[in-house]
Structure 1
Amino acid sequence: MTLMLYTFPSCTSCRKARRWLAEYQIDYVERNILTQPLNAQEIKEILMMTENGTDDIISRRSQIYQELALDWNELTLEQLIKLIERYPSLLRRPILMDDKRLQIGFNEVEIRRFLPRHIRVLELQRATAATER
């Protein structure tokens, strides 16, 4: 599966992720989720890869989250998915995803998991050599 980068145009963390991927020459497909919102199946696929379910993907700091003022614990999964489809700004971003890995938000340490194995091996060898000096 191709690495997918789900973004918002004005998102600083999304720009950081884009720059990092370019720096390491990692191919990806970018999708602006404001102009091309995720459908229910795509949201479910992301949720299946999370560790903490909706807690991992919902941006509690987003304006729409505050405006809706819902009791989020009372929503069914289907209700939540419909809200995300309607209000994509409820999602934390960026979302990076391939067939094995998922990262929500930009974290410079965690994003390294998307590096090809041969690059990770080279970097580990360099780091080991540097500490042996």
Structure 2
Amino acid sequence: MTQVTAPTLTLYGIKTCDTVRKARKFLAEFPIDAAYHDFRQQGLDETLLDQLIQGLGVKALLNTRGTTWRSLSDEQKQSASDPAAARQIMLEHPAVIKRPVLVREDGEMLVGFDTAVWSSFIQGGR
């Protein structure tokens, strides 16, 4: 009998985020290898951000509803309609990235947390 192993996952987020906490608890229920990367503790470099943008898009990643977004100047908020400016804002303020972000070993990505979607994703679906 062949043993099927789930893909390796990496969860990106911020440990103080309630949704990230829920996602981490959800992942702990699966017998899978899941790494955790905290944007505040481990940082966010340009290469990682570019991979996330390529996989999900700037609009999907930019959280315009959180406290970090609200603390930005009106000029920064207006400039975020430009993808390059939005990228720079995310580099300078990683907490403005929607979370959690879940990345599978094959490069597929999800942003946000939905148990049904995540269950399918973890099992190799999309």
Q: TM-score, normalised by structure 2?
A: 0.79
Matches within 5 A, 1:50-65: 50=56, 53-65=57-69
User: Match of 2:70, as an amino acid?
Assistant: Q
Q: Distance in 1 between matches of 2:83 and 2:52?
A: 17
Deviation at 1:67, TM superposition (A): 2.2
Equivalent residue, structure 1, for 2:4: none
What does the per-residue CA deviation read over 1:6-33, in whole Å, with 9 as the maximum and x for residues that have no partner?
1211111111111111111221110111
In the alignment, residue 27 of structure 2 is paired with which amino acid? L
Aligned CA RMSD, in angstroms, stands at 1.9
Query: Do 1:5 and 1:94's aligned partners in 2 also have CA atoms closer than 8 Å?
Result: yes
1:39-66 Cα deviation digits (max 9, x unpaired): 111111111111xx21111111122212
Partner of 2:50: 44
- Percent identity between matched residues is 24
Q: Aligned partners of 1:100 and 1:76: how far apart in 2?
A: 22
Partner of 1:33: 39
What is aligned with 1:102?
109
Q: Distance in 1 between matches of 2:11 and 2:119?
A: 14
Please give the TM-score of this superposition, normalised by the length of structure 1: 0.75
* Count of residues in Structure 1 that have an aligned counterpart in Structure 2: 114
Which protein has the larger Cα radius of gyration, Structure 1 or Structure 2? Answer: 1
Q: Which residue is 1:11 aligned to?
A: 17
Contact 1:21 1:27 in 2 (8 A): no
For 1:63 and 1:116, the matched residues in 2 are separated by 34
